Amino acid sequence: MRILGVGRVQPHPRWHIGRQRHQFHELIVVVGGSMIVEAHGRRVTAGAGDVLFYAAGMRHEEWSDPTDPVETFFFAFTAGGLKLPFKGGDPNGRIRELARWAHEERERPSPGSADIQNAALRIILVEFRQSLIEKPDLVRSTRRYMKDHLREDISLGDLASLARISKFHFLRRYKALTGRTPMHDLRVVRAEAARDMIRHTELPLKAVAQAVGFANEYHLSRVFKNHFNVPPGYFRK
């Protein structure tokens, strides 16, 4: 494995990188804000605690969330035979700390800095693979409840009661495991369910919004623009 570059990106709110691909691998560690990424024919939202892997030759396009500009660390590197999925996570925060450490060594090099950067990246790749192991019961049961009760008015207190712990401890535990808040994940679950309904039914947007728990079609549109970077009608074309 050979590192070609380590950097930090703090773009302006309207930042957009058009479709591109590289001859090297790229690992993106999101440490703040939010971004939209299109790759493999999918659009996904990545926020703090998410880790993205662009294999050499993979076409990808990126947008920063204009209301919550993204902040990332990136690694450009070569490695033979490396196969990883497109998206993983950093539930324990270790990947973000390692990325900061590697970046500091890149910015202020000293004897041994190259070895430290390589060691940090190797550990990051191990942590990335570990993040793909099935989530603990707390996350699985919470997301299952969200999907089964989309139409209902779900609160943080409801989810904490389901887990039989206080709201404070539930929120802290859930965020440690996923890198996101449970209410953020609830919006994502609802948005993805709405997207599937728009694709596969002729229901008007007002009915779709009500079916998945959004207040109205305007709320639905706002969430779609934040999550998918496109209006709901895009998926009915």
pLDDT digits (tens, 9 = 90+) for 157-189: 999 998 888 888 889 888 877 878 999 999 989
How far is residue 1 from each of residues 28, 42, 58, 77, 120, measured CA to CA in Å? 17, 28, 19, 7, 12
Domain match, 68 and 123 both: yes
Domain match, 112 and 152 both: no
pLDDT in tens, 19-57: 999 999 999 999 988 899 998 778 888 888 889 999 999
User: What residues form DSSP beta bridges with 72?
Assistant: 9, 30
Q: What is the mean pLDDT of residues 149-156?
A: 93
Domain match, 64 and 144 both: no
C-alpha to C-alpha distance for 73 and 77, rounded to whole angstroms: 13
Question: Residue 36 sits in which domain range?
Answer: 2-131
Chain centroid to CA 185: 10
Domain match, 117 and 151 both: no
Domain match, 11 and 105 both: yes
Domain match, 8 and 54 both: yes
User: What residues form DSSP beta bridges with 88?
Assistant: 51
Domain match, 125 and 181 both: no
Task: Give the containing element (helix H, strand E) for 68.
Answer: none
Q: Record the tokens describing residue 143, joined without a space.
A: 């997301």
pLDDT band at 80 (very low <50, low <70, confident <90, very high): confident
Domain match, 127 and 143 both: no
Domain match, 149 and 124 both: no
CATH of the domain at 61: 2.60.120.10
Domain match, 164 and 220 both: yes
